[in-house]
Homo-oligomer: A and B are copies of this chain.
Amino acid sequence: MSTRRTTRQQQAVSSILERHGDFRSAQEWHALLRESGEAVGLATVYRTLQTLADEGTIDVLRSPAGEAVYRACSSGGHHHHLVCRRCGRAEEIEAAEVERWTSATATAYGFTDVTHTLEVFGRCADCS
């Protein structure tokens, strides 16, 4: 069933995501890989990022500009981010209160099958 192969390319993608801790677009990761000598086709970068995201291994979100940005996250569970809009560095944050509030509110309005997005952007201490 899970005929999951381990290719050089997939390892290169995972590994570069782990070396850098910030959110970057597929195109940026692709460029970084090329610079580092570990060339990987753009299509493969997209495919791999998507697979990893589906697995929950990495996190995706949309930058204010509307493009998808990816990063490796330590916590496997559900969490949100506090992202520096200048340098891309991100903190993982837990938001139990918010979880509770959204699900209560949604229920109050008769909504079911609820999901939510919450991202916080700002300027980190270093970039101020």
Contacts and interface: CB of A to CB of B under 8 A. Distances in A.
A105 B120 contact: yes
Contacts of A121: 114-117
A12 interface: no
Contact of A111 (B110, B112, B123): B123
Instruction: Give chain A's interface secondary structure class.
Output: strand
A27 interface: no
Interface residues of A, number: 32
A91 B113 CA distance: 16
Given A97-B101, A105-B82, A119 B116 contact: yes
A73 interface: no
Given A66-B68, A106-B82, A113 B123 contact: yes
Given A116-B121, A118-B118, 17 more contacts: A62-B62, A82-B109, A82-B111, A93-B105, A95-B101, A98-B101, A105-B120, A106-B122, A109-B124, A111-B125, A112-B122, A114-B120, A114-B121, A115-B120, A116-B119, A116-B120, A117-B117
